[in-house]
Amino acid sequence: MAWAEAWFIDFRVLPQEARAKTILEAASGAQRSSRDPVTPQLEAVRNYFSNYPETIADFYSPMESPFASDDEDEDSRRDVTKLTPKEMQIQAAGCEALQLAWDTINSSGWKLEKESSHGDTVQSKLGSKGSKLYKLVGEVEIEPKILFDEMVYNFENMSKWNKAMTLSKIVQLLMFTIMDYYRLLIRATIMDCLQTIDSSTVVTIDSSTDVVYQVAAEGPGGIVTARDFVNVRHWKKIGDNWVSGGISVIHDDEPPQKSIVRGENGPGCWVFRPVEGTTKKCSFQWLLDTDLKGWIPQYVIDQALTHAMIDFMNCIRSYAPVIKGNTSEKYNFR
């Protein structure tokens, strides 16, 4: 039996792990084609699959561990719960939303909606699906990584300083095992989720994903009542920028409630950019694609959202000194 197990590891598991690595390298090196979104490299990946009758999805490591983890403790590995297919779909949605939002926020064609006394701007444009997108841009006196850490890792504290939010909590941290990683990679390839990969695409998948629940306060004058949202978030460093992207999802632990309207967010993101010439300043950007639901005139939505985004920037600016005073604090998920 021991010899059989050794044969299985040497001739089935390890070769298939090597193939998966080759597939990942092929995908991450792909370049976008201006005429055909399905790149030659992606076709090569598909052809690579077709050469093997067995599926790469059937290999496994005897002891699963969180992806990108060096923890060798057996007890910690027993605590890792493999993601369900539904959870993997949520994870994939977060990864894809980050990339879509990153592409959108860096695109052209934005029109100025509002500018504050601090120089913060809210711009808008129509998205590919006809929805109106909003982009906030403002600068704040704080290092980008410090602000990123506070707003992403310390998310549950946000309702204490962001007056537009009455509740913010983390519903679930989605932890990938190595096997989950390969499964999602294969699924993404088959479903053409890698069609838009270029040199800045995020292809590394790790535990930097969670599902959050938040309740937005009603707008000024009560014209827009309170809304709640359930979003998957995925965060990553792209170049010199820290980016947290997300999109609305359905989660069993947070079903819609009759007492509040459930809003729906399309792909959106926060971007924490360094300011040229200084390390002590952050250019904060927020891409918002939201459907507040209900019968609300567009001009009311425009006023409510632009006001809320400018207010959010003011809240960040007011809270920045407190964040800087707590920079020695260790966040739970760092």
Residue 205 pLDDT: 36
Residue 81 pLDDT: 57
Exposure string over 187-223, b if 16+ CB within 10 A, otherwise e = ebbeeebbbbbeeebbbebebbbbbbbbbbbebeeee
- Nearest-CA neighbor of 155 among 138, 172, 136? 172
Instruction: Please report whether residue 71 resides in a domain.
Output: no
**How far separated are the first and last CA of the chain, in Å rounded?**
43
Residue 237 is which amino acid? K
Is 173 in a helix, a strand, or coil?
A: strand
Six-digit token string for 197: 């990969």
Residue 31 pLDDT: 41
Indicate whether 161 and 214 sit together in one domain.
Answer: yes
Indicate whether 95 and 51 sit together in one domain.
Answer: no
Residue count of the chain, please give it.
Answer: 334
Last residue of a domain, one of 56, 71, 98: 56
**Rounded average pLDDT over 20-47:** 44
* Range name among 118-132, 149-163, 258-272, 319-333 with the lowest pLDDT average: 319-333
Instruction: Please report whether residue 213 resides in a domain.
Output: yes
Residue 59 pLDDT: 42
Confidence of residue 191 (pLDDT cuts 50, 70, 90): very low
Q: With a cut of 60, say whether residue 188 has pLDDT above it.
A: no
Indicate whether 39 and 183 sit together in one domain.
Answer: no
Indicate whether 230 and 129 sit together in one domain.
Answer: yes
- Averaged pLDDT of the chain: 77
Indicate whether 214 and 172 sit together in one domain.
Answer: yes
Confidence of residue 329 (pLDDT cuts 50, 70, 90): low
Instruction: Please report whether residue 97 resides in a domain.
Output: yes
Indicate whether 121 and 263 sit together in one domain.
Answer: yes
- The DSSP output letter for 13 is I
Number of domains in the chain: 2
Supply φ then ψ for residue 319, to 5 degrees. -90, -15
Q: With a cut of 90, say whether residue 64 has pLDDT above it.
A: no
Residue 312 pLDDT: 97
Q: Which residues contact 111 (CB under 8 A, 6 or more apart)?
A: 123, 124, 125
Q: Which residue has the higher pLDDT, 252 or 78?
A: 252
Confidence of residue 40 (pLDDT cuts 50, 70, 90): very low
Residue that has been written with the tokens 């937005």 in this structure: 216
Domain of 246, in residue numbers? 90-325
Instruction: Please report whether residue 81 resides in a domain.
Output: no
Inter-CA distances, 236 with 102, 199, 200, Å: 11, 14, 11
Instruction: Please report whether residue 72 resides in a domain.
Output: no
Q: With a cut of 60, say whether residue 58 has pLDDT above it.
A: no
Instruction: Please report whether residue 65 resides in a domain.
Output: no
Task: State percent of the chain over pLDDT 70.
Answer: 63
Indicate whether 50 and 99 sit together in one domain.
Answer: no
- Give the predicted TM-score (pTM) of the model: 0.69
Q: Which residue has the higher pLDDT, 40 or 321?
A: 321
Supply φ then ψ for residue 69, to 5 degrees. -105, 140
* pLDDT tens-digit series, residues 202-234: 333 346 899 999 999 987 777 789 999 999 999
Residue 184 pLDDT: 52
Residue 219 pLDDT: 79
Q: With a cut of 70, say whether residue 85 has pLDDT above it.
A: yes
* pLDDT tens-digit series, residues 238-294: 999 999 999 999 999 999 999 999 999 999 999 999 999 999 999 999 999 999 998
